[in-house]
Amino acid sequence: MPVKQFREAIREAMVEEMRKDESIIIMGEEVAEYNGAYKVTQGMLDEFGGKRIIDTPISELGFAGIGAGAAMNGLRPIIEFMTFNFALVGIDQILNNAAKIRYMSGGQISFPMVFRGPNASAGQLGATHSVAFESLYGHFPGLKVMYPSEPYDAKGLLKTAIRDNDPVIFLESEQMYAMKQEMPDEEYTIPLGVGKIKREGKDVTIVAHGKMYHVAKQAAEQLAKDGVEAEIIDPRTMKPFDFKMVIESVKKTNRCVIVDESHPFAGMASEIGFIIQRDAFDYLDAPVLRVCLPDVPAPFAKNLFEKWLPSPKEIIDAVNAVTYRN
């Protein structure tokens, strides 16, 4: 199979869907003439023209609102934010219009649109450019939230998101755009709410999404050398979430560590941990532990930033704690 980058997988998903459906448009900063800030939309202006690949001013509230109005009137917009940190400027359109209009209209108005772009930290970009937003958007009814960790998943999930008649938050990582993976050329989709066991194991369940999956994978490889076989579950979609897969894994391993590139209070790890103790309490041989960011904004200094991010060592320490190896 051909090897493709994460950015290429996302581009292919959009191109393939736009060739089939003329109602799909893309709007955002630098998506057209500049080929995308991260070259995700490279070549798409040449193929689809300026009426479907639309450069916008630096006004997230404005183009998110235009996209919302377009979705209400028959188009299927894809709104690209240069980073989801900037989406906070347009969050009223996401939370008060996109997420609620179908409900408030009694199902008369659908909202088929995708908000996509980079999420969470991306190196030394400072506190205002390093926030993970999956728990925030997952909190609100009416939104579906995806955060793929690999190019294969990204393409299949984005095609599903574009076809969905409800608003989807599609989160990416700047640090994964150049990631490569073998992928089939034939068309495929991945359904919402279906996670994937990406590493089989019997001693502990590790739940990790987005780029934290790759940190968990490093930890699992080291743990295997020490005789501990960790099972890694990548939920792929954060809402709806595949709690069934996680619960079945915990029933097998009797232990769980959740890795989340969010702050600990009211994050995804808190919700996952609650469901595990509610539905699998009798199977647990140790408390559920989480590996998150500290409860402080992202530092800029390189040495502090590296300590701020969840690390393989922290995951290994958590696994050793739940397996009583400390």
Question: How confident is the model at residue 166, as a pLDDT?
Answer: 96
Among 160, 182, 204, give the residue marking a domain's end: 182
Cite the active site residues.
60, 129
Residue 119's CATH number = 3.40.50.970
The residues near 107 (Cβ < 8 Å, ≥ 6 apart) are none
DSSP 318: H
Q: pLDDT at residue 326 above 80?
A: no
What residues form DSSP beta bridges with 171?
117
pLDDT (tens digit, 9 = 90+) per residue, 199-208? 999 999 999 9
Domain extent at residue 305: 196-322
Q: In a 3-state reduction of DSSP, which class is residue 232?
A: strand
Which tens digits make up the pLDDT trace of 150-184?
999 999 999 999 999 999 999 999 999 999 999 99
pLDDT given at position 324:
87
- Tell me: pLDDT of 44 over 90: yes
pLDDT at 325: 82
**pLDDT at 123 exceeding the cut of 90:** no
Last residue of a domain, one of 182, 208, 233: 182
Q: What is the pLDDT of residue 316?
A: 98
State the burial class of residue 316 (Cβ atoms within 10 Å of its Cβ: 0-12, 13-18, 19+): buried
Q: At what angle do helices 212-225 and 312-322 cross, to 10 degrees?
A: 60
Tokens of 101: 């209009």
Question: In the predicted model, what is the mean pLDDT of the chain?
Answer: 96
Q: What's the pTM? A: 0.96
- Token pair for 122: 């991306």
Length of the chain: 326
Query: In sequence order, which ranges of 34-147 are alpha helices (DSSP H)?
Result: 44-48, 60-72, 91-92, 101-104, 134-138
Pick from 277, 40, 301: nearest CA to 178 = 40
Looking at residue 206, its pLDDT comes to 98
Q: Is residue 240 part of a domain?
A: yes
Is residue 16 in some structural domain? Answer: yes
Is residue 188 in some structural domain? no
176 and 63 within one domain: yes
List C-alpha distances in Å: 196 to 59, 187, 207, 304.
37, 19, 10, 33
Residue ranges of the alpha helices (H) in the chain? 6-20, 44-48, 60-72, 91-92, 101-104, 134-138, 151-163, 212-225, 243-253, 268-279, 302-308, 312-322
How many angstroms separate the CA atoms of 301 and 162, rounded?
38
Residue 98 sits in the same domain as residue 220: no
For residues 119 and 1, which has the higher predicted lDDT (pLDDT)? Answer: 119
